Amino acid sequence: MNRCPTCGTSYEDDARFCPRDGTRLLQRPGSPGAEPAAPAPGRNTSAVQRPDGAPRRGHGNLIGQTLDSRYEIVRKLGEGGMSFVYLGVDVATREQYAIKVLSAALSDDATAMARLKREASVGMRLAHPNICNIIRLGETEDGLVYVVMPFLQGEILSDRTNRLGHIPIEDVVRLVRQMAEGLHFAHQMKIVHRDLKPENIMVAKRPDGSEAAVVMDFGLAKERRADAELQKLTATGIILGTPEFMSPEQLRGKPLDPRTDVYSLAILTFEMLSGKLPFQGRTQQETMIARLRSDPTPIRQLRPELNIPEPVERVLQKALKRAPEERYQSTVDFAGALEGAVAGPQSDGSLLGRLFGR
């Protein structure tokens, strides 16, 4: 069961938002998306031979081992149904990396591996301060497949929003600008994220102690010039993405461009500011239909006590237009409009100067 942190009501595992108040539900251990238990002992998985010649160990227990004589596995960071994520250290440079090790079942799946190779080819082109890019896709001699990514320390955006209830508007403006810059970089390379959501954003700590929003998981990212092979991999009739943050055109299975990420970023911004979603419904299907047929609930109506400026509401309403041509045409346009709405027409720029060093 998942629980609403606002009203305390519990819901079934497949529920993500409280239909009473729109609050994101907190997952309990054992819920889908929560960390599962390690694979059962004796499961037939390919593994890495320990340097000292000791018996092999499975994908879920690689601590102390070295991949390809290069990445020393220090500790486990997390795990999912089809992969394990470890903290690894380059034995030559001592730099830290996050290393995702795929399960044997996934490694043996030709279709899954084709998607992974596509993801890696996309991810390795996305070197930007506000994107968690893929550095390397590797495979050991005994068939263990792994992905090397930057190691980020910080807090997942969904956790921060749940912890605080809502995020101060000055912080929201700064985080949106950073996400917009990363997404715009991808868009210039003809890549659309398609699954932008709070769980895919890390508020990472920089070496100087400051924070930066980093867009993660371009696994569903799609090059706008998709070929026939990619179209087969995404399977006709199957909508990929997270329904609560998907644009109307994505729900309809229409062709996508950067404006779909503008829409998702606007929903994400709305939730950061208010702790709620702009479209309400008793079920996931109802919220999806609302996005196809209805206008979003004005944020000042949903949370009047927060005193969100009216210009901010107008910016969100435009970014959430059902027709892509009526929205902001790029993520940086949306971020700039949000900055201007928060600063106000009479501002001397001091707020933006504090936020962005101008």
Cβ burial, residue 159 (10 Å; 0-12/13-18/19+): middle
Would residue 195 show up in a list of annotated catalytic residues for this protein?
A: yes
Which one-letter amino acid corresponds to residue 272?
M
Contact criterion met (CB below 8 Å) for 275 and 166: yes
Q: What gap in Å lies between CA 58 and CA 38, rounded to an integer?
A: 10
Which one-letter amino acid corresponds to residue 317?
Q
Which one-letter amino acid corresponds to residue 187?
H
Give me the residues paired with residue 197 across strands.
Answer: none
Which candidate, 255, 247, 210, 244, places its Cα nearest to that of 354? Answer: 210
356 Cβ neighbours under 8 A, 6+ residues apart = 174, 177
- Count of alpha carbons within 13 angstroms of residue 321, beta-carbon side: 13
Which candidate, 308, 301, 318, 43, places its Cα nearest to that of 166? Answer: 308
Q: What gap in Å lies between CA 6 and CA 3, rounded to an integer?
A: 9
Do β-strands 154-156 and 2-3 pair in parallel, antiparallel, or remain unpaired?
A: unpaired
- The enclosing H or E element of 265 equals helix 258-274
DSSP code per residue over 151-169 = ---EEEHHHHHHHHSS--H
Considering the candidates 14, 52, 68, 195, report the single residue annotated as catalytic. 195
Provide the annotated active-site residues.
195
